[in-house]
């Protein structure tokens, strides 16, 4: 399945990625599994997604938790806790 990922704020800046299209095996996928997969790319990816920093995630513009299921065509986003207002 194909998904689109966006990164924001500290994640975007540190990973030097703002968006990417990703092809994943056609098997059940969750936010946690996706983070673990991306974390294998390098130490900095591991630190950013599975380290001490809190990471929040959205699927199709809705905040979700680690157990949320990801489906073909989804827009996934990773970002730090929000600090607007």
Partner 1 sequence: MTVRVQTEDFDAGFEISRLHKNRKDIGAVVSFIGLVRDLNDGDAVSQLTLEHYPGMTEKSLTSIINQAMARWSIKDALIIHRVGTLQPSDQIVLVAVSGAHRGEAFAACEFMMDYLKTEAPFWKKEVTPQGEHWVEAKSADDAARERWIK
CA distance 41 to 50: 12
Tell the smallest beta-carbon distance from residue 37 to partner 1 (Å). Answer: 22
Tell the smallest beta-carbon distance from residue 57 to partner 1 (Å). Answer: 11
Angle at which helix 43-50 crosses helix 31-39, to 10 degrees, equals 150
Tell the smallest beta-carbon distance from residue 9 to partner 1 (Å). Answer: 4
Stretch that binds partner 1, among 4-12, 21-29, 34-42, 65-73 (CB under 8 A): 4-12
Residue 16 binds partner 1, judged by CB under 8 A? no
């Amino acid at each position: 399945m194909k998904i689109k990922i966006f990164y924001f704020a500290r994640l975007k800046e540190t990973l030097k990625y703002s968006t990417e299209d990703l092809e994943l095996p056609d098997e059940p996928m969750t936010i946690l599994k996706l983070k673990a997969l991306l974390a294998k790319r390098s130490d900095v990816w591991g630190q950013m997604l599975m380290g001490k920093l809190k990471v929040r995630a959205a699927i199709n513009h809705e905040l979700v938790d680690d157990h949320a299921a990801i489906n073909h065509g989804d827009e996934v986003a990773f970002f730090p806790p929000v600090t607007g207002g």
